[in-house]
Structure 1
Amino acid sequence: MDKITAMRVFARVVEAGTFTRAADQLEMPKPSVTKLVQQLEAHLKVKLLQRTTRRVTVTPEGAAYYQRTARVLAELDEIESDLTQDRTNPTGCVRVNVGAVVANVLLMPHLPAFHKRYPNLQIALGVTDRPVDLIGEAVDCVIRGGTMADQSLVARRIGRMDFVTVASPDYLKRHGTPTHPQELMNGRHAMVSYFSAGTGRVAPAPYVRGDERFDITGQGFISVNESTAHVNAALTGLGLVQTFGPVVTPHLERGALVEVLGDWAPPPMPFYVAYPANRNPSLKLRVFVDWVVEVFEPYNHGR
């Protein structure tokens, strides 16, 4: 038995939650994954996992073994990465998860320059607004806005974005231009709501000016749980949308959208790149994070 390989396979089973998902992520046959874990248990003379038809559960002994070996494996990866790779030319694949508008509006336009700088790195870009289990889904890092409260992650602040409220010229022609947030509460205007893909809860749109604050829940006939659809709802005249300024700047410049209530806006939202705290970041992840910081530099100040 290759003990290091068996340790890596065991860790991936723990993180993925099933032998099948672990085998897929490791690109190994499932019987090979099962055999390696069984050999490791026989070598240690202890039960590490409890198997069911759908999921595996870690035993107390398995949890203790995982916590200690995960640190060892992370150290080995970092040592190998630093010794075997040219620091100016890292290799491998960085698995990233990011929201739709950040992916399409901010990252995509800059990725050709990233590829030119690091031609031997690949990016696996998962695009979703839902919460992601970095360990279970084998994701190296996520880019998210808001408060990073998950203590299992290391979060590096990379910037912040202003909010704006926008609508299409056609919508404003039909319904008029609001001058106060209270007009969004009396049924005169349609507000396209954004609801969480994870919880289903609608996120009220805050409007702040000095000491005044109004939290508006949309009264339109449509709500969405994905940020690109949120912007498209405004473009098609379905109602008012509060979103990030940089996301709609091109639409404002060409006149497809119009900003309203410009003197009413919440504080800018901070954005973070985050990765698991129990893993030392590899060289490939470090250079990607540094690049993301560069990309977000124009959005580091807010209004």
Structure 2
Amino acid sequence: MDRLATLDLFVRIVDRSSFSAAAADCGVSRPVATAAIKALEQRLGTRLLHRSTRHVRPTEEGAAYYRRCVAILADLEDADRSASGAVAGLLRADVIGRLARMILLPALPDFLARHPALTVHLGEGERFVDLVREGVDCVVRTGTLPDSDMIARPLGVMEEVTVASPAYLARHGMPASPDDLEGHQMIGFVSSRTGQPLPLEFTRGEEVIEVPLSARLLVGGVDTYAEAARLGFGLVQVPRYGFEDDLAKGTLIEVLPDFPPMPTPVSVLYPSNRQLSPRVRVFVDWLVEIIGPRFHPQCA
């Protein structure tokens, strides 16, 4: 491997804490990766990595070398873009599935046409991923974000709505206020962060009211959550943008429209300890361009 490819491999190994994962990212075999790092350490005259059967982590010298390599590779990518005007390479993003399918994918052909040398690996998830260790460049997430060392750029705020099926409302009645919810049931959406079902939330003026209804069905996926609501299992709270067809067709009916849930912030996150690469920068700018107009710009 040439020196530049070896630097990229070394950075990937530190990021992924794994020779095998880094080798796969760089398109080489594990033995080739091992030999390249061994040759690099011999050339530098110092040990860069602590290796064990489970983990790979940088030595003190390796951590300092890693920081310099990250800066060098980012500067080189910037230089290439300045010279050619093009953004190239593989961008890995993780996006909530419904947001990806309904908003990103329809607009993605235009983005790829703008950047013909860029390849996008679009993952779909709800959980809070370790970006650096998992080799992901950025994630789009909703809700209040936990404290972390990542940079969060607000994209907008989603309007939320409480809905239920006609069959459910025929059995339980249409409540006129949150005080009328005794005897009602919700479908419990289990938080990936806490492992607990999220309570229903309503606003009355400036007041926020949490209503932890009983739930006989708990789910962990948005699509299952929505389908269970259509089948009459209980009340749910969902982003309005994803359920406009259901509301128009009457397969779901809005409940308590005068007491809407708090709107949900949408953010894109990327590591703070990495220089933002041109490919991530253009992707984040594109997210602002296509997501911002769809949602209220309160937090943007």
TM-score, with structure 2 as normaliser: 0.90
1:273 is matched with 268
1:231 maps onto 2:222 in alignment: no
Task: Please list every run of 5 or more consecutive structure 1 residues that lacks an aligned counterpart in the other structure.
Answer: none
2:197 to 187, 197, 202: 202
**Residue in 2 aligned with 1:179?**
176
Measure, in 2, the Cα distance between the counterparts of 1:254 and 1:118: 39
The aligned counterpart of 1:247 is 242
User: Displacement, 1:301?
Assistant: 4.0
Q: How does 1:49-68 map to 2 (within 5 A)?
A: 49-68=49-68
Evaluate the alpha carbon distance shift between residue 274 and residue 210 of structure 1 in structure 2; reply closer, same or farther with a 3 A threshold. same
Shift of 1:290: 2.4
Corresponding position of 1:126: 123
Match of 2:26?
Answer: 26
Q: Which residue of 2 aligns with 1:298?
A: 294
For the aligned residue pairs, the C-alpha RMSD in angstroms reads: 2.2
* Residues 59 and 93 (structure 1), Cα distance of their counterparts in 2 relative to 1, 3 Å cut: closer
Asked if the contact 2:229/2:236 (under 8 Å) is kept, the reply is: yes
Distance 1:180 1:129, change over 3 A: same
Mapped partners of 2:57, 2:278: distance in 1: 32
Instruction: Name 2:136's counterpart in structure 1.
Output: 139
Aligned partner of residue 202 in structure 1, secondary structure? coil
AA at the equivalent of 1:237: G
Secondary structure of 2:162 counterpart: strand
User: Structure 1 residues 278, 77: CA separation in 2 closer, same or farther (over 3 Å shift)?
Assistant: farther
User: C-alpha offsets along residues 251-280 of structure 1, whole Å, 9 cap, x if unaligned?
Assistant: 111111100011112432221122222333
**Is the 8 Å Cα contact of residues 187 and 218 (structure 2) preserved in structure 1?**
yes
5+ long unaligned stretches in structure 2: none
Secondary structure at the aligned position of 1:144 is classed as strand
Report how many aligned residue pairs link the two structures. 297
Structure 1 residues 117 and 235, CA, compared in 2 at 3 Å: closer, same or farther? farther
CA–CA distance in 2 between the matches of 1:135 and 1:123? 17
Work out whether residues 188 and 219 of structure 2, in 8 Å CA contact, stay in contact via their aligned partners in 1: yes
- Choose 280-289 or 40-49, whichever is displaced more: 280-289
Deviation at 1:169, TM superposition (A): 1.0
CA–CA separation in structure 1 for the residues paired with 2:177 and 2:139: 36
Instruction: Quickly say closer, same or farther: Cα 1:71–1:205, change in 2 above 3 A.
Output: farther
After alignment, is 251-260 or 203-212 more displaced? 203-212
> Aligned equivalents of 1:288 and 1:257: distance in 2?
34
Question: Aligned partners of 1:219, 1:70: CA distance in 2, in Å?
Answer: 50
Q: 1:109 aligns with which of 106, 119, 122?
A: 106
Percent of residue pairs bearing the same amino acid type:
39
Structural mapping, 1:3-42, within 5 Å:
3-42=3-42
Amino acid at match of 2:177: H
CA contact (8 A) 1:93 1:124 kept: yes
Contact 2:202 2:260 in 1 (8 A): yes
